[in-house]
Structures are given as structure tokens and as C-alpha cells.
Structure 1
Amino acid sequence: MDPATRVHEAFLARVGAGNMPPVSGRAAAADLSGGDLLALFRAQVASRQLDRMARVLQSRGQGFYTIGSSGHEGNAAIAQALRVTDPAFLHYRDAAFQIARAGQMPGQTPLWDMLLSFTAASDDPTSGGRHKVLGSKALNIPPQTSTIASHLPKAMGAAFAVGMSRRMPLEAPEWPADSVVMCSFGDASLNHSTAQGALNTAGWTTYQGTPLPLLFVCEDNGIGISVKTPKGWVGDSLRTRAGLEYFACDGLDIVDTYKTARQAADWVRKRRKPAVLHMSCVRLYGHAGADVEASYRPKGEIAEQEANDPLIHTAARLMAEGVADGADVLKIYHDIWHEVESLAEKAAARPKLQTADDVMASLVPPARELPRLNGPSVQVREQMFGPADLRALDEPQPMNKLLNLGLADLMLATPGLVMAGEDIGKKGGVYGITKGLQARFGPGRVIDSLLDEQSILGLAIGMGQQGYIPMPEIQFLAYLHNAQDQIRGEAATLPFFSNGQYANPMVLRIAGLGYQKGFGGHFHNDNSLAVLRDIPGVMIGCPSTGADAVAMHRAAVRLAREQARVVVMVEPIALYPMRDLHEKDDGGWLTRYPDAGVEIAPGHLGMHGQGTDLAIVTYGNGHYLSRQAQARLAADGIDARVIDLRWLAPLDPAAIMAAVEGCDRVLIVDECRRTGSQSEALMALMVEHGRPDARRLSAEDCFIATGPAYAATLPSADGIVTAARDLCA
């Protein structure tokens, strides 16, 4: 007998025979009425019947997801203990939570909504048929997918943003300033580095005295797929967390769970500090429909878990307290099943997504209706900058200086813009790009974070959801790899899996790429953008001059604010202080601060020269080196134009092909590695658009060395000249 049928028949038999477990305490002592108990039981039963139906639908080829919530239904009582306006970042076994919360808001149809999700119907109100997700805009449940702790950092960020919204109010915050942010996860996920980092960051933050109204909920069923959690591990691990208040409850007892969850939520709401609720529970049916639990778990252990079915425990309480008798309990159980059956048949017949355009429609969130920002008055701006910086605005400057001034201008013009990162405040960043900004705008808007890239990006995601425009900084490009899933699996997917209902705009600044002379080797000279380029919906900019950097950052902030985009600005470290182009003290790479309102948006390429012999397509440091090569090639009689891409994702094929039009030859200069670099996509673009004559010069497939060989594996001006001569011979 399959486990779903076995648990189902056991429930019917035990309730019918009155073979119920003992009940301790009274619901009234926890301020739960008989009506409350019935509502919670209905939510639990609805969740259970959906699990059963998910397996039926899969057997018919009509359903596509069978990781259920059976055994975890105690979380319905946690929903009862929270407000509907409290954002909830849910574990994938929390259907009962969502159903119970739906019961607190009139007009909700959770059974129908979830069945549409099970059957991948295009009118699924959460994801639009893209994935089976828990989530609801109306219920303040942002959708999560495979929540193996990856949602904890952004829940932490959301709690930080909620706390901050009291000190730095927003015109239209997503959640009230007195909210508690709830985030649930499993006991196995506790061991993930992402969970450890989020828990550590929560404690670290509260040690700073910063408000963080966050309630972690660890749902401990004692096993992760097939690997058991050591007995006592979860409690001992969570109980000793610095900065986190610990609460524990029995998830089989909805009264104990409700009472403890309410205590925990009230504690967090009153103190604005994080806490963790450790809910013990069981896992029924195995991990998912295809999981044969008996192959790795003793039958006696499975039977013991099934005997502790939370529905039986809740039914026992209903009967013991005189709220319902056995016949009433069975009627509720059967009635909900019949409703699920009827709705499932209709849901399976609903239309599905059909085309690539249908699926891709929510990759980019819809534009937002926002008032234009006028920026600060002349007097405020002059007072903020001071005489020295005002003079600098009128004189040619290197990128690091102009970018510092440009970021200050953006902070003045955009009240909701908040920066966060390692050492960006008092120190002003490793390269001084944010120097003086914390003194000007305060530590609440220029945040010195702890050393954890996952938490920095999670902070940004959560703040973006609340309504801020976060500008996190990753100190070096190689450090992003520790936290890339926060962009790949969380930030970029939120509009997609919420059908555009949720978004987390941000402008992520990363100091990166190569050519730093003898400094730091690979981890401070990283020439690979592949980790970012293949993430759908993410925009990547790479300025090479100071003026371009300011204008591109202006565009990036506007895209984040008005279109809720995730924009990554990769700033070439080697070009931060660059002053000269051809000779010492020629000042050939200095630029002037762009006028107010000047932006460089995606698709606006930089064109240097009108030569027709050769088009050099490049970006970043490659732009600098190509400009050096351009002058040397002119002396050889080769008239070249240098095309600076500026924006690397998405590429604009029409703009690129228009830029090379009329040139006899095309050379692509790419400072990233030959494998997985931009040059691969550009070469394919050239071939697809009738330019198979194009050639490329890229970096070797190698890490970067420290010392004199820092540029040995990278393109050089000499190499560009040689490649161009060969191509034009």
C-alpha cells in the first residue's frame, strides 16, 4: 500500500474507532475558541487532501509536483499567531500555513489557487503556470521555489527594511513598519551555509542595536530526504545562537504551537529583535511522490511517524474539548476531499502556457508608475558637495573621483537609495569610491555590513521588496561566487515565479576584472563574467571612463526605480585611477562630469573614430587598450573605429551590427577568458548577422597571477595591434 493511502485509511479507522491520542491542556487557556480550532483543523485537512490529490494528478499526467506538507500541518497555528500583513517567506511544506492565513481574509480561494499551481494552469494566480509555488500577493507571501535555505538572507533583508522604514519612511512600503517577518525552513536546511550565514547575520545585526523584527521557524521533522538529523542537534544549535531568542513547540499540538508562536511573534514585534521558533513535527509520505521511504528508513520508524499524524492529534483535541465528535470530524475530512476532487477536475482542464513568449513574459517586472524625482535644490547640492568637490565637477577627473561624485548625486536625488557592503562606510571602500558618503548621508543609508556576501545580497533583495532602491557592493568580483545564488536563484527569479507581482530592484556594484599591477592575484583580479551573463533578466553594465560610469549608474538607478530591474555594474578596478592614455601625464583618460540628466542606457554604444578598415568591438579595460592600439594602427595606415559596448547584458544586436556597418573587418577584444566569455556570444552574433569574417582576441583560460606576470594571460595593446595587422593584411 502506498503511504498516502496507508495514512488516509489509518486516519479514518482511528477516528471511527475513537482510538485517539491523549490531549493535554485546554484551547481556551491559549485564547483559542472552538471556532478557531475548527478553522485550524479545516486548514490542516485541506493541506492534506491537496497532498493526496497532487499524487492522483501526477498519476494521470495532469499534475507536476508532489513534495507535500503532510506531517507539517501544525504550521497552520503559526499563521493564526501572526497578522495577515506580516510577510511570510515559506518553506515548501507550509501549505497549511497559507490556507490558514487565507481563512483570515475574506474572498480567498486557496484550494482552487493551489490546484491551478499543481496543474501548471496559466491562470494560477501566483506564478501564472510557471512553477508550483506557495505564495500570494494578497496574503503577503512572496513565492519561493526550492527553499533550501536560500530564502533566509532575503527574509533577513526584508526584516531589516521593515525596521528601517520607521526611521526612513517610504511613500508606499510593501509591508507595515510594525510587521514581523516570518521565515520557515527545514531541519536539514539548517546545515546549509546560507542558513548559517543568515542566522549569524541576524544575531550580528541585533548586537549592533539595529531593529530586526524577524521570526525564523525551523520545522524539524528529523530527516532531510534520507539523511537523519542527529538527535538534539537542531535544538542545541539554535538555542545557543547569540542574538536570537529561542522558542520551542510541539507541532503535533496546535494549541501548544499557537501559544508558543504567539509568544514568539509578540516578543519579536515588541522588541524588534530576531527570534527562532523550533517546531518539532513529522514527515509523512516520504520526501516526494517518487521517494520510496522504505528503502532507507526502517518500517517501524515509518509506522511510528504515521501514528503521530498531526490530523489525528487535532481531531483528538476537537473531540476531547467537545467541539466536534468523530462523525463531525470525518464529515469535514470527506467534504473537503470531495471539494478538492471537484476543483481538481476543473483545474486540470484550464489552459497552460504554450509558447516561449508566454513563459518569458514575467522575466522582466512591469514598469512602475512613479513620480519623477526632481533632485535637490542648488543650495542643498552646493552645501553637500563643498567647494573642492564643486571645482572637481568642472575639471577632467579619473573614474574613481567622478564615480564618487556621481554616487553622492544619486544619493541626493533618490531618497530611497541605500548602499550596503563591506568597508564602504567609514573607510569609503577599498578604492575610496564611497569615501565621505556615510559622513554625508549617515550610517542608515551607507551601511557597513559584516563580511558575508550572501547576507549583503539578501539584505538588498529584502530591501528592494519593501520599496527601497538598494545599491549593495561586492568588494571584488571573485567574492561574488560565494553568493551567486542570491542573484541567480532568488533576485532574478522573483518576478518570474510571481508573474510580475513581486520584484526586488537593485543596483549591484562590483569592483572587478584584471590588470591590477601585481596586486592580489586571482581573487583581486578576476576576469570572468560568465556567472552573471547567463542569468535571465539581469542587466550588466561595464563602464570604462569616469563620465560613462556616472551616466551609466544614473541609468541603472532609474531602471531599478522605474522598472524594478536587477542591474549589475562591474567597475574595472584598473581603470579607477587611470589618467593617461598614450604617454605619461597626457591626461588622455580623464573625463568631465556629465551634465545633469545625461544617462547612458542599454543599447547606447560608445563610438571612437569613424574608420572603415577595422571595427574593434570591446569593453572595460579592452576599450582602454584598444584606444592605445587605435593610434598605433593609424600610423600603419589602418583606419580603425573602437566600439565600446558599455552594456554586456542584454546585448543589443541591432546596435552592435549598426556600429560595425561599413567596416571591412571586425576584431572583438575581450579581457575575459576564451571559454564562457562575451566574445563567444559576439562571435555567434557576427556569424548570425552575416559577418563570418570577424575574429576575436580574448584572455587565456587561466587564472591571473600575482607579480610581474599579472597581465601575461590577458589581451594587451601589443596583442591587439598584432591581431589587427594580421586581420587587415
Structure 2
Amino acid sequence: CDLAAAYDAAVRAVRHVRERRSPAFLHLTTVRLMGHAGSDVEQAYRTQREIRADLERDPLVRTAELLVEAGQRTPEELLRMYESEREHVLRLALETTRSARLGSAKEVMEPIAPRKPELIAKISPMAAPAPERDKAFAGVLPEHDKPMTLSQAINRTLADALAVYPEMTVFGEDVAKKGGVYGVTRGLQKRFGGGRVFDTLLDEQAILGLALGAGVSGLLPVPEIQYLAYLHNALDQIRGEAATLSFFSRGSYTNPMVVRVAGYAYQKGFGGHFHNDNAVGALRDIPGLVIASPARPDDAAAMLRTCLAAARTSGSVSVFLEPIALYHTRDLFEEGDGGWLAPYAPPGRWPETHVPIGRARSYGDGCDLTIVTFGNGVRMSLRAAVRLTQEGYGCRVLDLRWLAPLPMDDVLRAAELTGNVLIADETRHTGGVSEGIMAELVDAGFTGKLARVTSSDSFIPLGGAAEHVLLSEAEIEQAARKLLG
């Protein structure tokens, strides 16, 4: 409440820090004038003596007294300044009351997700000039390499993005020299330096807090959350900050970021709730948040480029959910078939392989059954579909790819082609993805047969016990047979 005393204390604190090389805490006390809100009548719980004492310590009045005592201003000058500012504020308030009111839900929601699909499609295929790409990849371009796993495709896409976006940074727990728990960011710090690829504290709130500050400051942050279960510790950094900034500022400010998260279950020999989490409900109810869920290497590369372009052009906040169990998967149907590998597309093909936000991917052209799925469910459903096809059933598998916004136009189209829809959802029965799909299909007037199989409403236990609560390939096949009659 005393500006001069506060300044003197701050000077002493700075001197202490500089001379002793140790921290100092600056403890300031002030007053709360008037109630917390219009409904908070402080006379109901504070005495008149307490209220008067606070008014006497009003920092504004005390500072005015300080200026008068120092001969810097006269009381009359300060009163004129005060009245002038008061009139200015009241005039602005009056002008605000005359401004147009929001008149529809569309107007209210307009700044939530201000995406520009055409611009995203234009920016997404951008690559660094050939000499810079050669340097980034030490002369071994990824498109000339062998077909890649999901992990390798994400790694090469991050490298390409770091080469083309000088404002992009990659950070998180152990992502730098170690390259992350699963090696997804291996080699990036060596190529792009510690200023752009670096380790953070073991604190998810600090990681996302850094991303918030970086995004609003003009950078393109790509933070990594080591496991999906860890994200819940700091979810309000996305829910209450990043995703709402554009809404509450009417688009004047944004927190662009792409949050990479290793998630879902089915890891071999490494389990438990904190390393296998299939809960996405808390993410899916955040308005405007983009949730990407690639299953295959080629989709992961294209979708990551899309998310980065959306952040850069529209200030979008994206969560990029990477299925841990598919990181290093190579085969689809039998050992050695390489069916889950994919070549890395050269920049010349990026425009044609662009994946818009909210577009699904279809496999097969069967007319009997549509299996709608995502993540680990894609591989399980494709394997189940092959066995059903061998028995004479025509199946198609639709990979959602995006959990928010859901690609419902593609889902409805695929559903109407067969009239039978099975949703294979590896998340939980309650609060999972399948609930939203079923509701959307019903709302759209789909009248065909509809069923779903999901994981149980359970945390994921250690070891083989996890198989009791997680969606299985056999359950998908069994449910499909039941639906087909």
C-alpha cells in the first residue's frame, strides 16, 4: 500500500539476489476494497472499522499523498487527473452499452474454432528449400528411406516441420537427448539445437504453461505429454486457458499449439493405469479443441502437418493422440508382411495427401457391414473384416482419424452404404467416443442397424488382467456376426 516502501524493499531483494546468488521472496500486502461482486455485501461479515481502515490504506490515495508530500503534484492537479480519467472510463462504458449485442448461437461460437480450411490446405504442404531439407536430414531424405513405422513417420514429420517453421519448438520430459520414452523425437535436438528441442521439468502444468506463453508470443509450440494419464493432471491449461483465449477475446488473442500425447493401451509388457489410459471424454467436451488420432504412419505424417498448419494460420489448439502400441508395429495380418508400414511421401505429393480436419479414411468397399473405429481399433477391425470377408460378408472399415470434430459426413455416408454399422471403440463404454457417434447417427436420421463394442468402464490394470477390460479383436468379430445375423 506504500509505493515508496515497496520500491525500497524490491531494491533490497534485487541486491540480495545479485550479491548472494540466492533467491529472495518479496512479500507485499494490500487491501481489498469493496465486495468480491455485486452480490457480495461486505458489511454482512466485516465491521465498519475494518472497512474504514482499508479505505485509509487505499494504494491510490496513499500514492497521491506521497506525490503531494514530495512536491510533485498539488491536490488540485491530482483531483483533475482523477476526474478526467473517470470521465474517460465512463464514456467508454457508455459507448460499450450502445454496441451491438450477440444475437445468435452462431455469433457466440464464431471465435471458438476460427479455422480456414483453404489456407490450411495451402500451408500444410509447405516444405523447407531443398538445401535446408538436406541439412536437416543429413543428406538422407526420408522419402528415399524404407517404409516407416508410425514412430518413424512422426519423427521425420517433426524434422520437416522444424526445418520449415523457424518459430516451432519441441519440448517435454526427456524429449531432447534421449528422444522420449519411445524414441519418437530421437535426433531432433542434435539437428536443430537445444533452443528448439529441449527437456522440461517433470511437470505437465509447467509444460503446457510454457506452451501457452510461447503460443501467445508468436511461437509454434509442440509440447509432448509423456502419457495420456499424465495430461489429466494439467488439463485446465487446455480447457481453461488455451482453448478459451480466442473465445473470450473474440479472436484477438490465440494460444496456437499442437500437444503430442502418447496414449491408449495394448502395450506389451508395460502396463498399469498411468501408462495405459483410454480416457478421452475430458478432451472431447472442450469446445473447439481438435483431437487427432492417427493409426497409420502415412496418416500420422499428413495429419501432423495439418495440425501445425491449423495452429499457424488459425491459432488452433490440437491434441495429437499417438497410439503407443502402434508406434513400432510393422505387420498387419501375419509376421513379416509389413502391412502396417508406409513410405514417407515426398513434398511434391503433400498437396494430394493432405488430410483436412474432420475427414475419415475408408478401407474396403463391402456392402454388408461398416465398422467405424480409430486408433488401435483400426488394425483389429481390419483383421476381423478380412476373416468376415473370407466367409462371404462384404465389410468396409472407416477410420475416424479425428475424434473432434468427428467426421460425421463420412460416417453417415459409409453407414448408408451398408445399412449395418458396428462401432469398435477402444475407449470406455461410458464417456467414450462411441456414444457421440451413435447419437449423431440417430440425429441424422439413420434407420439401419447399429451396435457398438467398447472397453469396460475401468482403469487399466497391470499385466494380462488388462485383457479383461480392453476391447479385443475377438469381440469385434463376435459383435459383427451378431449384427449381420
Regarding TM over 0.5, the answer is yes
**1:264 Cα deviation (Å)?**
8.6
Mapped to 1, the partners of 2:143 and 2:80 lie a distance apart of 78
Contact 1:522/1:706, CA 8 A, preserved across alignment: yes
Aligned to 1:110: none
Taking structure 1 as the reference length, the TM-score comes to: 0.60
Equivalent pair of 2:172/2:225 in contact (CA under 8 Å): yes
* Partners of 1:518 and 1:707 within 8 A in 2: yes
Q: Give the Å deviation of 1:655.
A: 2.5
Partner in structure 1 of residue 409 of structure 2 = 654
Q: How many angstroms apart in 2 are the aligned matches of 1:275 and 1:568?
A: 38
- The equivalent residue for 2:111 is 362
| Paired position in structure 2 for 1:470 | 221
CA distance in 1, matches of 2:4, 2:93: 31
How far does residue 564 in structure 1 lie from its aligned partner after superposition? 1.8
Aligned residues of 1:542 and 1:571 also touching (Cα < 8 A)? yes
Which residue in the other structure is 2:3 paired with? 254
Identical residues among aligned pairs (%): 46
- Tell me which of 294, 297, 321 is aligned to 1:570: 321
Q: Does 1:353 align with 2:107?
A: no
**Matches of 1:602 and 1:288, distance apart in 2:** 42
Aligned equivalents of 1:374 and 1:599: distance in 2? 11
For 1:722, the equivalent position in structure 2 comes to 478
Unaligned stretches of 5+ residues in structure 2: none
Distance 1:555 1:605 in 2: 14
Q: Distance in 2 between matches of 1:646 and 1:374?
A: 22
Q: What SS does the corresponding residue of 1:510 show, helix, strand or coil?
A: strand
Mapped pair 1:506 → 2:233: no
SS at match of 2:179: coil
| Partner in structure 2 of residue 308 of structure 1 | 57
**Cα 1:304–1:714, aligned 2, differ >3 Å: closer, same or farther?**
same
Selected match of 2:469 from 705, 708, 713? 713
Shift of 1:643: 0.3
Change in CA separation of 1:683 and 1:303 when aligned onto 2, cut-off 3 Å: same
Contact 2:222 2:258 in 1 (8 A): yes
> In 2, distance between residues paired with 1:338 and 1:305?
25
2:373 corresponds in structure 1 to: 618
Corresponding position: 1:416 with 2:167: yes
- Partners of 1:438 and 1:445 within 8 A in 2: yes
Quick check: 1:527 aligned with 2:278?
Answer: yes
In 1, Cα distance between equivalents of 2:91 and 2:141: 71
Number of the residue aligned with 1:670? 425
CA distance in 1, matches of 2:203, 2:14: 27
Using a 3 Å threshold, how does the CA distance of structure 1 residues 572 and 297 change in structure 2: closer, same or farther?
A: same
Match of 2:306 among 555, 558, 575: 555
1:453 to 1:254, Cα distance in 2 relative to 1, 3 A:
same
What is the distance in 2 between the residues matched to 1:338 and 1:440? 58
* Residue pair 2:174, 2:200 contacting (<8 A) in 1 also: yes
C-alpha separation between the residues in 2 aligned to 1:469 and 1:572? Answer: 23
Provide Cα deviations, 1:448-504, integer angstroms capped at 9, x if missing partner: 111011111111111112221111000000000111011111111111112111112
Deviation at 1:336, TM superposition (A): 5.2
Q: Could you tell me which of 544, 547, 550 is aligned with 2:295?
A: 544
- Give the count of matched residue pairs: 473
Q: Give the Cα–Cα distance (whole angstroms) in 1 for the partners of residues 15 and 247 of structure 2.
A: 34
For residue 286 of structure 1, what is the amino acid of its counterpart?
Answer: G
Contact map agreement 1:376 1:413 (CA 8 A) in 2: yes
SS in 1 for 2:170: strand
What secondary structure sits across from 1:711 in the alignment?
A: helix
* C-alpha spacing 1:676/1:311, structure 2 compared with 1 (3 Å): same
Residues 86-105 of structure 1: matches in 2 within 5 Å? Answer: none
Give the CA RMSD over aligned residues: 3.0
Q: Name the structure 2 match of 1:495.
A: 246
Change (3 A) 1:522 1:338: same
Q: Quick one: distance in 2 between partners of 1:599 and 1:606?
A: 12
SS in structure 1 at match of 2:273 = helix
> Quick check: 1:509–1:571 contact (8 Å CA) kept in 2?
yes
Q: Tell me the distance in 2 between the aligned counterparts of 1:392 and 1:366.
A: 30
- Spell out the pairing of 1:223-262 with structure 2 (5 A cutoff): 252-257=1-6
Q: Is the 2:33–2:54 Cα contact (8 Å) retained in structure 1?
A: yes
Q: 1:708 to 1:300 in 2, by over 3 A?
A: same
| 1:432 Cα deviation after fit | 0.5
Q: Which amino acid aligns with 1:376?
A: A
Cα 1:667/1:385, change in 2 over 3 Å: same
Give the C-alpha shift of residue 599 in structure 1. Answer: 2.5
Cα displacement (A) at 1:424 = 0.4
Is there any run of 5+ residues in structure 1 with no aligned partner, and where? Answer: 1-251
- For the residues of structure 2 that align with 1:275 and 1:581, how far apart are their CA atoms? 59
- The verdict on how the C-alpha distance between 1:663 and 1:265 changes in structure 2, with shifts beyond 3 A counting, is farther
How much does 1:427 deviate? Answer: 0.7
| C-alpha separation in 1, matches of 2:215 and 2:303 | 20
The answer to whether the 8 A contact 1:421-1:448 is kept is yes
Of residues 128, 150, 155, the one that matches 1:404 is 155
Residue 437 of structure 1 and its aligned partner are, at CA, apart by 0.9
Q: Is the 8 A contact 1:366 1:500 kept in 2?
A: no
